[in-house]
Amino acid sequence: MTNFEETKKQFILPEGMIYLDGNSLGPMPKNAPDKIHSVLTDEWSKMLINGWNDAAWMFQPEQLGNKISRIIGAENDCVVVGETLSVRVYQALSCALRETRKRKIILTDSGNFPSDLYMAQGLIELLKNQFELRICEPDKIHENLNSEIAVLMLTDVDYRTGRKHNIAKTNKKAKDQGIITIWDLAHSAGALDLKLRDWDIDYAVGCTYKYLNAGPGSPAFIYVNPKRIDQVKPSLMGWLGHQSPFDFSLNYTPGKGINRMKIGTPPVLANAALAASLRIWDMVNMTDVRLKSIELSERFIGGLKNTCPTLKLASPTDAKKRGSQVSFYFENGYPAMQAIIESGVIGDFRSPNIMRFGITPLYILEKDIDLAVDIISNVLNKKLWDKPKYKKRKFVT
């Protein structure tokens, strides 16, 4: 059993703050400064260039990837870390498009994150519009899966409402029709009990600064199904994905297995923070996390239902269809969220009218949920948000 009192102690959380925004940026692990400091003082400053060999910096992408594998229920040696999520989406999709023959449609849904859609649009333009991006409603995916579809590219959990797909079922339906599948796990990795080993997904990507708590701008990851990695032709052919980068050959030969998905130089300092956060994940069982997340979410929804009738649940009421966030529609959501934040509960806002709260069992306990419910209902019931200072929009909402 995961001890959540113990995991909570592994994070720095400002006194008096209830942090319900770990779906957007996780808090700092207590061991992160020491870990980063040691990379600076014991490795970079002393070893300089030798750090690539002596501190094994060059092998971070696959070593950290193997730790993420466990969290997403994947085999060893099928995940590498590096770059940002937007780049990983582009990488996965461009590899997938190289595999297609006659089919020309990329199917996605309107619940996908804009960056994923923009990456697809840019790639399609580059390929002289021979492919089409078809965007349907999330609940219409199944009826749109047919023999015309080349690639199914979806984000598992909707960033606004927390509505979750059924990866196992949808992926199987797509694969049965010969469709290549790409899943974005941005709001799933570290939140849900994923079973990539069992699902026969082709490509998956995700970031590490949300539920995985590796810090602002921490690197992304990409998974490729180990059954087919040897047939995958890289499209972002960086030197570190080459079979033997230090031969400096003028021509590209893909590296062995997942190594071919590496692109450029690993972000060593950012990887230090990721290594620090992954040490906490060693204490954690994902089945426990999912159960606890559902328990806490139900408590939060139930509490606000009783005390705050003005809030309308934007997330699915059925916990099985929800990721690990709870969202509400509220017309004055922006000022309300600013007032709630000033009262010590941190959530965020997504246009036009969604208030989001991330539920993260690693550092949120029942008593935090109960206190958050009290604070939120106090702000809303007394209309404490109705002040000009809360209405001015910041750049990041």
Ligand X SMILES: *Cc1c(COP(=O)(O)O)cnc(C)c1O
The catalytic residue positions are 113, 184, 209-210, 356
| Cβ-based nearer residue to ligand X, 119 or 373 | 119
Output the CA–CA distances (angstroms, integers) from residue 198 to 107, 177, 183, 264, 389, in the order listed.
23, 18, 14, 30, 51
Site for ligand X in 195-214 (CB under 6 A): 207
Q: Pick from 336, 317, 364: which is nearest to 23 by CA?
A: 364
Number of residues counted as binding ligand X (CB under 6 A): 13
| Cβ-based nearer residue to ligand X, 51 or 206 | 206
Could you tell me the two tokens for 224? Answer: 């490729």
Q: Pick from 66, 86, 83: which is nearest to 75 by CA?
A: 66
Q: Least Å distance between CB 92 and ligand X? A: 12
> CA 341, CA 344: separation in Å to the nearest integer?
5
Taken as a whole, the chain contains a residue count of: 397
Q: Which of 155, 170, 225, 360 binds ligand X (CB under 6 A)?
A: 155
| Residue 113 binding ligand X, by CB under 6 A | yes
Q: Which of 85, 154, 304, 308 binds ligand X (CB under 6 A)?
A: 85
Find where tokens 């003028």 sit: 250
> CA 54, CA 39: separation in Å to the nearest integer?
12
Q: Least Å distance between CB 366 and ligand X? A: 27
Q: Pick from 200, 198, 201, 199: which is nearest to 184 by CA?
A: 201
| Cβ-based nearer residue to ligand X, 113 or 363 | 113
| Residue 84 binding ligand X, by CB under 6 A | yes
Q: Which of 71, 80, 145, 186 binds ligand X (CB under 6 A)?
A: 186
Q: Least Å distance between CB 112 and ligand X? A: 7
| Cβ-based nearer residue to ligand X, 159 or 349 | 159
Q: Least Å distance between CB 21 and ligand X? A: 13
| Residue 221 binding ligand X, by CB under 6 A | no
| Cβ-based nearer residue to ligand X, 346 or 379 | 346
> CA 208, CA 278: separation in Å to the nearest integer?
10
Q: Least Å distance between CB 58 and ligand X? A: 23
Q: Which of 67, 163, 187, 322 binds ligand X (CB under 6 A)?
A: 187
Strands 132-136 and 105-109: parallel
Whether 96 contacts 178, CB under 8 Å: no
319 by Cβ neighbours in 10 Å (0-12 / 13-18 / 19+) ranks as middle
| Cβ-based nearer residue to ligand X, 48 or 269 | 269
Q: Least Å distance between CB 117 and ligand X? A: 9
| Residue 74 binding ligand X, by CB under 6 A | no
Q: What mask, x for binding ligand X by CB under 6 A, covers residues 115 to 154?
A: xx--------------------------------------
Site for ligand X in 4-33 (CB under 6 A): none
> CA 289, CA 256: separation in Å to the nearest integer?
34
Q: Least Å distance between CB 156 and ligand X? A: 9
Find where tokens 């927390």 sit: 162
Calculate the CA 176 to chain-centre distance: 26
Q: What mask, x for binding ligand X by CB under 6 A, covers residues 333 to 352?
A: --------------------
Could you tell me the two tokens for 67? Answer: 């730790």
Whether 116 contacts 91, CB under 8 Å: no
Could you tell me the two tokens for 84? Answer: 């940002």
Q: Which of 60, 86, 100, 213 binds ligand X (CB under 6 A)?
A: 86
| Residue 159 binding ligand X, by CB under 6 A | yes
Output the CA–CA distances (angstroms, integers) from residue 281 to 7, 67, 80, 275, 359, in the order listed.
9, 9, 17, 10, 16
Which positions touch ligand X (CB under 6 A)?
A: 84-86, 113, 115-116, 155, 159, 184, 186-187, 207, 220
